[in-house]
């Protein structure tokens, strides 16, 4: 099952993509793809709906983030062994966690805006976990019971803010538009093995990142269980799980994004994103 939110920013409606790749309107049955609607009981109710019984929606609508009202946007750093190697970092003994501001979340085709003072804007393709049921002190064996699904995430990063300005990584991870999600939330049974997802990212048509979740240091079950030892994960929380190699910071010499660049990215069963990098206008 592939769930979407479509329409103008801030006024998205819930929908789904059927097996014929047709956008269907879920708004008569579901309030939003958010919060309590992501729990197991509600998701089973959505699964029971015949997609052909839903009205078709205009496919020209903007596609927004597939998750609304995100409370916590949690990120994992240096979670691919080959990415850690390219940055010269040691393999972490435990997951490295930081926050991205939920206010940075946008749709998969919305522009990415270069923040004031930025000179090292970088890209990171990732798979993100969407929490469905509250999780606190869960075991790895039970972790997937708390997952509503997965989505593609572009963890846009400003490296000078992140590394050279002191303090937490969130400084370089939270500017407006730094968290494109989607195009859809794919449920676990449709995704298959989350540790066998291919990921890729291009800049101006040139392949920069090619990787697989198979090289994650800490897998999906481990991350959900681990994070739940430190905080109560709530329905609609998003955990973006790290990036494979090929980021601009790791190139010799480093390469960074500039206004006018086009970034495209995708993953197995996760769909594709496309963003234009724009200079800030205010």
pLDDT score of 281: 81
Cα 237 to Cα 69, 191, 265, distances in angstroms: 9, 19, 22
pLDDT score of 246: 95
Rounded to a whole number of angstroms, the CA Rg of the chain reads 18
pLDDT along the chain (282 residues), means of 10: 97 97 96 95 95 95 98 96 75 95 98 97 98 98 98 98 90 98 98 98 98 96 98 98 95 96 98 97 75
Q: Go through the domains of the chain in sequence order and give each one's CATH number.
A: 65-279 (3.90.850.10)
Question: What is the pTM for the complete model shown?
Answer: 0.97
pLDDT score of 37: 94
pLDDT score of 107: 98
How many CB atoms within 10 Å of residue 32?
18
Show the beta-strand stretches assigned E in 57-159: 73-77, 96-100, 105-106, 112-114, 121-122, 125-131, 147-154, 157-158
How many CB atoms within 10 Å of residue 48?
7
Phi, psi angle pair for 273, to nearest 5°: -120, 155
pLDDT score of 167: 78
pLDDT score of 88: 73
- The DSSP output letter for 242 is -
pLDDT score of 68: 98
- The DSSP output letter for 204 is T
Distance CA(241)–CA(195), nearest Å, equals 11
Angle of CA points 222, 228, 233, to nearest 5°: 120
pLDDT score of 166: 86
């Amino acid at each position: 099952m592939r769930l979407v939110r479509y329409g103008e920013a801030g006024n998205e409606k819930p929908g789904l993509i059927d097996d014929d790749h047709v956008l269907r309107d879920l708004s008569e049955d579901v309030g939003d793809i958010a919060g309590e609607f992501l729990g197991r009981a509600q998701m089973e109710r959505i699964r029971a709906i015949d997609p052909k019984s839903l009205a078709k929606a205009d496919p020209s609508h903007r596609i927004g983030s597939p998750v609304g009202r995100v409370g916590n946007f949690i990120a994992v750093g240096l979670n691919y062994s080959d990415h850690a190697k390219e940055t010269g970092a040691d393999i972490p003994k435990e997951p490295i966690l930081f926050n991205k501001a939920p206010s940075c979340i946008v749709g998969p085709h919305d522009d990415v805006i270069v923040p004031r003072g930025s000179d090292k804007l970088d890209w990171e393709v990732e798979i993100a976990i969407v929490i469905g049921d509250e999780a606190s002190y869960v075991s790895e064996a039970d972790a997937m019971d708390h997952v509503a699904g997965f989505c593609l995430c572009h963890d846009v990063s400003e490296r000078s803010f992140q590394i050279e300005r002191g303090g937490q990584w969130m400084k370089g991870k939270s500017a407006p538009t730094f968290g494109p999600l989607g195009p859809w939330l794919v449920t676990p049974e449709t995704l298959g093995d989350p540790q066998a997802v291919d990921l890729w990212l291009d800049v101006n048509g040139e392949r920069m990142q090619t990787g697989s979740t198979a090289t994650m240091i800490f897998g999906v079950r481990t991350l959900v269980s681990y994070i739940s030892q430190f905080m109560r994960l709530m329905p609609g929380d998003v955990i973006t799980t790290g990036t494979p190699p090929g980021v601009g910071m790791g190139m010799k010499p480093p390469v960074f994004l500039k206004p006018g660049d086009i970034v495209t990215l995708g993953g197995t069963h996760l769909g594709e994103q496309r963003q234009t990098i724009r200079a800030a206008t205010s």
